[in-house]
Chains A and B, each alone.
Chain A
Amino acid sequence: MTRARLEAWLSHPAVGAACRLLLGGLFIYTGATKLTHPAEVARFVNGYRILHPELANFAGIALPWVEVVAGGLLALGIAPQSAALVLGGLLVTFMGAGFLALVRGLDIACGCFFPFLGGDRLNWMLLPRDGVLLLLALQVMWWPSTFLRRRPAAVAPAEERL
């Protein structure tokens, strides 16, 4: 496949909409399951032993709301690039924190998906999984689309319009 064809495919509005709905929907779901359990989320955050314990509750309160709001904006196509940047930043943070915890040999709860159904221990699958999700975020940042179409970035300069 030539580079131009690949770019045409990747920038297709349907691909953009799929990325937004998939990534946004996923974060709405994971965030919503945590919204009412800030103390539980704080415990997960603390398990990674990166953030100072004093700030664990703050993270437990704020993180689910950031996930839900950014996921919602992304799915709806409102400020999609900024929302994708927020979620991409979260994914990079999760991957970094997970990597550090794994190389230190911590046996902790992932706190990633279905966190309150139990049994989700942190393992190396976190990295490829969040890596794929990060690609979805990059697609939206690079070729932003509003609800079902690609957004015109700016009105072209006057001489081009004539």
Chain B
Amino acid sequence: MPPPMLRNSRPEFGGMLLGAVAIVLASTALGLTVNHFSASPLPVLVQVKGEQLPLPPGITALSLLDAKRMYEANEAPFIDARQPDWYAKDGHIPGAINLPADSFEKRFLAQADRLEAAPKLVVYCESSDCGEALATVERLKEAYQGQILLYVGGWLEWSAAKYPTRKGESP
């Protein structure tokens, strides 16, 4: 019997798509499994809190323009509640003190004199729906007596507005 004729294979899209979905699902499952059993697993979903959540009692929300005005008037120290890596590599509002909730004590003590002397503090994180600023606010309420303002739009809004930014570990 002669060998079967080779025919140019036009894509059979259904089968191709099914295979592609299988590849994506299998490799995602592989990634999640490896992450789960790794020495320091990354949380799969970042815990974020929607902006519809009420602000903690005693906390005032700050708009972009208010935050800009306070920054220019040097009216209050800014607190960046994001992880140090994001603070240093993506950048931050110049002068902002990096104070993530999970290393709060050490970092707060290092800046305690300056922070406790300020009548107001402005706290921000990545954007309006990141929970990091709220977590830092909760810690601040225990250690700080002045007024706490939450700059809701955060880093994404500030940098998109092309306002001053700075990179690196120092404020």
Contacts and interface: CB of A to CB of B under 8 A. Distances in A.
Interface stretch (A17-25, A56-64, A122-130): A56-64
A142 B10 contact: yes
Given A47-B90, A58-B44, A152-B4, A85 B20 contact: yes
Interface in A124-159: 141-144, 150-156
A150 B6 contact: yes
Contacts, number: 127
Interface stretch (B56-64, B94-102, B122-130): B122-130
Contacts of B24: 66, 70, 86
Interface residues of A, number: 49
Nearest to B154: A53
A106 B162 CA distance: 9
A61 B127 CA distance: 22
- The majority secondary structure among interface residues of chain A is helix
Contacts of B42: 38-39, 42, 57, 60-61
Interface in A40-74: 40, 42-43, 46-47, 49, 53-58, 60-62, 64-66, 68-70, 73
Contact of A66 (B4, B19, B23): B23
Contacts of B23: 66, 69-70, 73, 79, 82-83, 86
Contact of A141 (B16, B45, B46): B16
B27 A154 contact: no
Given A81-B19, A83-B23, A143-B9, A57 B45 contact: yes
Contacts of B54: none
A30 interface: no
A65 B31 contact: yes
A153 B85 contact: no
A151 B26 CA distance: 24
Contacts of A68: 27
A79 B19 contact: yes
Given A53-B48, A57-B43, A85-B20, A64 B7 contact: no
B24 to A, nearest CB: 6
B35 A69 contact: no
6 contacts: A38-B42, A40-B85, A61-B44, A73-B23, A141-B11, A150-B9
Interface of A: 11, 38-40, 42-43, 46-47, 49, 53-58, 60-62, 64-66, 68-70, 73, 79, 81-83, 85-86, 89, 104-106, 109, 141-144, 150-156, 160-161
> Ordered nearest first, which 5 A-B pairs have the shortest CB separation?
A82-B19, A153-B9, A65-B31, A69-B27, A85-B20
